[in-house]
Structure 1
Amino acid sequence: MSRSMSLNMRSASRRDLPPPQKTIERFEKMVEGGSYYEAQQMYKSTSARYITCQRYSEGLDILQSGATIQLKHGQITCGAELAVLFVDTLVKGQCPYNEETFDRVRKIYEAFPRINMPHFLGDDYDDDGQKLSEAISAAKVRSEGCSSFLRAALRWSAEFGTSRNGSPDLHVMLGEYIYSESPETDMTKVSSHFVRGNDPKKFASMLVNFMGKCYPGEDDTAIARSVLMYLSLGNLRDANLLMDGMKEQLKSADMELPKTALIEFIKYLLQTLERDAYPLF
């Protein structure tokens, strides 16, 4: 096949693709009617046609719509798959990380369900135990689906944004979702995202919340680890903001920081670094 013929066929295929809005409306009706799997296949195959023709904007519209409506109907696996494909398309289209593209990622993130985990079993252990097991399994699916999506988004933002560590806003989103939705709280993982984020006040709230439900002796370790993570990144400002935010929130709740040797060490360390000693750290 000649090059000119190939280009003509590609141009024709680009023209043959209709505007995506009617397609999106049709697929949404399929989801609302309960045809989740059928709609999923249509979202994937149709968006692929637009992407092959380098009509990335239309492909993104289809994938964003599909991910959002599937998630809103509780179809986590389907929604997460389309969400990851959405990010893959951002990469293929070399779409820059900016306010508009971040807002699209944020809207998909907000569609992921948030369901409180049951913490206590009732009198009927067998029934409640079954419910708890089902809730844990569902929480794992939600957490893994959202984490896969946001990790992909972080890689895209690192490549097409200004921060080599990825978007601070996306790090906060991922840390927050892991903390609230994971059946087993991994504060090391949560902290590693928050210290690369831009919201030490929200991080402080999360640590205060963790203090109220963790095992004895875990609270001072979580606080110290978070401060040291900030310092290892050269971020003395947010390390101080984190401690100040925790003190303020604990005071409002008539609580205080743990009185342990580890917390005293962290306090003295921060005071020392304020005396122009940070380069020695």
Structure 2
Amino acid sequence: MAAAGCRGVSRVLEKLENSIKNGDYYEAHQMYRTLNFRYLGQKKYNDLKELLYQGSVLFLDVDQKTSGADLGLLLIEALEKSEEKDCDAWSPKLSNIFAKIGPDHTTEREHFLIQAVKWSSQGNTYGNPTLHQCIAKIYWQELNYIQARHHYIRSHDGKGCAKLLIEFQMTKGFKSEVDLFIAQAVLQFLCMSNRMTANQTFTTYTENHPKIKKNRPPFLLPLLNFLWFLLQAVETKKLQTFAVLCEQYQMSIKRDPCYIQYLDKIAQIFFGVKPPEKKNSGGLFGNLLENFLGGLDDDSDEETPQPSQSRASTSRQILQSTDLD
């Protein structure tokens, strides 16, 4: 039975080769699907995955986008059924298919990408970082800065992300937005608990942006100083430092309404701040003060100072060792 099965597959492969040589792509596509069915039944996953990848690339190279994308989807199904775990090894291949589908075939491309990211989400809510890095580079080459940035934020490539942001800011942004482009990226990395990439992105951006060329304070732009101090505070996990930073840089933080939301989540992730119980609470600053004063109650038996006194005292203590704008 096994020998008969092998002979049957060999005949299909021979027909497939002849169909491709003759330019009969429809017949070739049907042959690939036949092989897919047979290989799945025989659990020849390794052979099947390579066959589908090569077939997808072949069709895409001759501008048979629909057939190529279809084989790409069958490849992802094969990866799932074979319980393939090596996302890093397959990410460049899946990205190659994605690139060859091209931006003009939006429906096929988006569907393929969704399935690829879904498959790569093994132990990572946001998908495999290597896959996102590969996809980001493709979008960048196509000058699709928004999508490139989206995928870089889900990668671990801080250097690549920073260089993209510099080009994005210089070609599409205003001069006054030099600090805004990096601020949102750093805060989003931190909201995803990706502290190391946030640091790498900030350092690379400030070192290489022609309007900055510096990676340590004092910066001319207050928001950059805030980000630098924030990254240090995240590393030490000192709530009082974080609270003072947010207080001292309120004007910079208020430049974008999203910053408050990001910082609220960062406070919960890195500083153990509890989410506000009421929607009409004092917001981030009120919540920070409440958590900080709660910590003082736990750590000291002395008389609890008034909120305004505690805030001023803490500010002076931090500012003695740290210069803030």
TM-score, normalized by length of structure 2? 0.60
CA distance in 1, matches of 2:3, 2:107: 36
Q: Does 1:171 align with 2:132?
A: yes
Structure 2 residue aligned with 1:92 = 81
8 Å contact from structure 1 (residues 147, 178) kept in 2: no
Match of 1:198 among 128, 142, 156: 156
The letter for the 2-side match of 1:171 is H
Compare 76-85 and 34-43 and name the one that shifted more.
34-43
Change (3 A) 1:105 1:234: closer
CA distance in 2, matches of 1:248, 1:202: 13
Aligned ranges 1:201-220 → 2 under 5 Å: 201-216=159-174, 220=179
Aligned ranges 1:183-262 → 2 under 5 Å: 185-186=145-146, 189-216=147-174, 220-250=179-209, 254-256=210-212, 262=223
Higher relative contact order (CA 8 A, sep 6+): 1
Compare 224-233 and 44-53 and name the one that shifted more.
44-53
SS at 2:103 equivalent: helix
8 Å contact from structure 2 (residues 61, 100) kept in 1: no
User: Who wins on radius of gyration, i.e. which is larger?
Assistant: 2
CA distance in 2, matches of 1:210, 1:25: 50
CA distance in 1, matches of 2:180, 2:16: 49
The letter for the 2-side match of 1:231 is L
Report the alpha carbon displacement of residue 164 of structure 1 after superposing the two structures with TM.
4.3
Q: Does 1:16 align with 2:5?
A: yes
Total equivalences in the alignment: 236
Match of 1:139 among 91, 103, 110: 103
Identity of aligned residues (%): 26
8 Å contact from structure 2 (residues 99, 138) kept in 1: no
CA distance in 2, matches of 1:14, 1:220: 67
8 Å contact from structure 1 (residues 17, 50) kept in 2: no
Report the alpha carbon displacement of residue 170 of structure 1 after superposing the two structures with TM.
1.0
CA distance in 1, matches of 2:88, 2:10: 22
Match of 1:107 among 87, 93, 106: 93
SS at 2:234 equivalent: helix
Structure 2 residue aligned with 1:43 = 32
**Deviation readout 1:85-144 (Å, 9 max, x if unpaired):** 101111123x2312xx643452342255479xxxxxxxxxxxxxxxxxxxxxx6241x65
Q: Does 1:270 align with 2:231?
A: yes
CA distance in 2, matches of 1:25, 1:256: 61
The letter for the 2-side match of 1:202 is G
Report the alpha carbon displacement of residue 242 of structure 1 after superposing the two structures with TM.
0.4
Say what the alpha-carbon RMSD is for the aligned residues.
3.4
Report the alpha carbon displacement of residue 232 of structure 1 after superposing the two structures with TM.
0.6
8 Å contact from structure 1 (residues 48, 59) kept in 2: no
Change (3 A) 1:65 1:271: same
The letter for the 1-side match of 2:182 is I
SS at 2:203 equivalent: helix
CA distance in 1, matches of 2:9, 2:117: 27
The letter for the 2-side match of 1:109 is S
